Amino acid sequence: MAVEVIMPKLGVDMQEGEILEWKKQEGDVVNEGDILLEIMSDKTNMELEAEDSGVLLKIVHQAGETVPVTEVIAYIGAEGESVEAPSASAIITAADGQSVTAPAQPSKEAVAEVAAQPKEALGADEYDIVVVGGGPAGYYAAIRGAQLGGKIAIVEKSEFGGTCLNKGCIPTKTYLKNAEILDGLKIAAGRGINLASTNYSIDMDKTVAFKDGVVKTLTGGVRGLLKANKVEIFNGLGQVNPDKTVVIGDKVIKGRHIILATGSKVSRINIPGIDSPLVLTSDDILDLKEIPSSLAVIGGGVVGVELGLVYAAYGTEVTVIEMADRIIPAMDKEVSLELQRILAKKHGMKFLTSTSLSEIVEHGNQLTLKLADGTEIVADKALLSIGRVPQLKGLENLDLELERGRIKVDAYQETSIKGIYAPGDVNGTKMLAHAAYRMGEIAAENALRGNTRKAHLDFTPAAVYTHPEVAMVGLTEDQAREQYGEILVGKNSFAGNGRAIASNEAEGFVKVISEPKYHEILGVHIIGPAAAEIINEAATIMEMELTIDEVAQSIHGHPTFSEVLYEAVMDVLGEAIHNPPKRK
């Protein structure tokens, strides 16, 4: 099916663009990433890359023409494919495989018309989509499928909400709030709040119970949403077969399409002593009802550092062991090292980097962790936190193409088996709940409409909920220099931000990375208060392809933490008011 090339909207004020030159001509082979044409808006010239591979079938608007934004200017498709579309149009595939012509941006009426196309009746145990797994990707896919008029079933072996809600993001953030409260107690006297006593104790029974209550509220909410959308729920492990049947105990159901959203599980390492009951996974430690005097964290990634901080706030002596040269190595190096410095200084956490674990010895209800560099760490408990791997249980009968233990999918989230999709952690693309939401939504739409929507995840934000928080979107400084060579970097510190100073949170900074030609934003990195919130603004800016110059025209409220993002953007131009002048 031919793919449209449209006149892009390069900025909030752009209404039309002039085609300066076509770099490819009708009949030319085009690869994804090839330069197709050069356009000019009221701000700048820009080369446009092809988003798909194929043959340039038809050029609708020639060089010299001025075209409104979002209007079709060309078509790319298979060799020999005919295009009969003088105006912007797209082919939408109905659930039964029939095709209808609809506007390039389908209206609600057009979508309804497609959904209403006649299709073969479904039996009692047959569904348009059977979703296997009730985590973020799964329940999003199920509800989106129901919104589009499909008959949907979902199979979940335990609780809805997946790892994030039950054993990851939400429970961890509940505990991190406790750590934040304890931090507040420490600074209360300096702010004029004199407590009758500074003594406190931690009731872990109540802590765990509160966490469980939060989780129960949210899992019940997900189940309620599924029922409200008339998604049929099956509880139990689903065994999926190549003929798109799913066996749950003695029950067999069948889907026209299958969405595998089985998520991920804790990764383990095979070293002597790793099976000691004193070695806890990130799942286990969330139900721990005692506070160990010492804790060794095996792995300095997001979960390890977050949970390590929780127990450091409780008074536990925490040592983090990380193979890389710094904690959370996927983050920008400057941000990662600053977080490591702050956590060591403010919370007393110890970090052993550039080393690995070779053996664990249990003796006298304690652990001795032997490291590759000869160091030995003695601790009451150890937390194994080296990441997660796809959960493939129940999928053994499928001959799916895998890549390093992950289900291989295309941009439409479809696997090597036609009609079977695999969004979320199970494909290992972006193991984040919010990325799984988007992938699940896209998988459902493609299952019911035909493969018409791709997953674009380049500007997915990521955050670490430590104190201070850390967040990022796009390329790190090292990655940007490797890909672009010359780059521009702007920074601004929370040390000069009014709200941060008033809140006792004046540590950290925002870094903005740009390329020098068009001032396109390549990456944003934050360490400081509300970083996980501010990064969403940065992700939206990058998704909308706003340039540094366009963001510079915005006005940020005062006093707010987000002013630091604005000042960092201005610093790219050398115009930040609250930064010292840059040396020439």
Spans of all domains in the chain: 3-87, 126-162+210-266+390-449, 279-386, 462-572
Calpha distance 172→417 (Å, rounded): 36
Of the chain, the percentage scoring pLDDT greater than 90 comes to 77
pLDDT of residue 10: 66
pLDDT of residue 504: 95
> Among 61, 434, 556, 558, which one carries the catalytic annotation?
558
List pLDDT tens digits, range 351-379: 999 999 999 999 989 999 999 999 999 99
pLDDT band at 84; cut points 50, 70, 90: low
List pLDDT tens digits, range 200-231: 899 999 999 999 999 999 889 999 999 999 99
List pLDDT tens digits, range 559-575: 999 999 999 999 999 99
pLDDT of residue 110: 44
Q: How many helices (H) and strands (E) does the chain have?
A: 14, 34
pLDDT band at 115; cut points 50, 70, 90: very low
pLDDT of residue 90: 38
Are the CB atoms for 442 and 454 separated by under 8 Å?
Answer: yes
Of the options 2.40.50.140, 3.30.390.30, 1.10.357.10, 2.40.50.100, the CATH number for the domain spanning 3-87: 2.40.50.100
- Residue 352: CB atoms within 10 A of its CB come to 19
Quick check: do 126-162+210-266+390-449 and 279-386 share a fold? Answer: yes
List pLDDT tens digits, range 475-524: 999 999 999 999 999 999 999 999 999 999 999 999 999 999 999 999 99
Residue 558 falls in the annotated catalytic set = yes
- Residue 531: CB atoms within 10 A of its CB come to 28
Amino acid identity for residue 427 in this structure: N
Of the options 3.40.50.10490, 3.10.20.740, 3.30.390.30, 3.90.180.10, the CATH number for the domain spanning 462-572: 3.30.390.30
pLDDT of residue 92: 34
For range 238-249, the mean pLDDT: 96
3-state secondary structure of 485: coil
Chain-centre distance for alpha carbon 157: 24
Is it the case that residue 42 has pLDDT exceeding 90?
A: no
Write the class of the CATH domain 279-386.
alpha beta
Fold topology of 126-162+210-266+390-449: FAD/NAD(P)-binding domain (3.50.50)
pLDDT of residue 556: 96
Nearest by Cα to 340 from 365, 314, 322: 322
In the numeric block, which tokens belong to residue 251?
């029950």
Is it the case that residue 118 has pLDDT exceeding 90?
A: no
For range 188-209, the mean pLDDT: 92
Calpha distance 188→279 (Å, rounded): 36
- Residue 30: CB atoms within 10 A of its CB come to 23
List pLDDT tens digits, range 128-177: 999 999 999 999 999 999 999 999 999 999 888 887 888 888 999 999 99
pLDDT of residue 420: 97
Are the CB atoms for 300 and 320 separated by under 8 Å?
Answer: yes
Average pLDDT taken over every residue of the chain: 90
pLDDT of residue 584: 60
pLDDT band at 398; cut points 50, 70, 90: very high
Scan for tokens 């933490």, then name that residue: 561
Residue 57, φ and ψ in degrees, nearest 5 = -75, -40
3-state secondary structure of 346: helix
Calpha distance 478→450 (Å, rounded): 39
**pTM of the prediction?**
0.81
pLDDT band at 65; cut points 50, 70, 90: very high
In the numeric block, which tokens belong to residue 464?
């670490």
DSSP 324: S
List pLDDT tens digits, range 514-562: 999 999 999 999 999 999 999 999 999 999 999 999 999 999 999 999 9
List pLDDT tens digits, range 321-330: 999 999 999 9
Residue 318, φ and ψ in degrees, nearest 5 = -110, 130
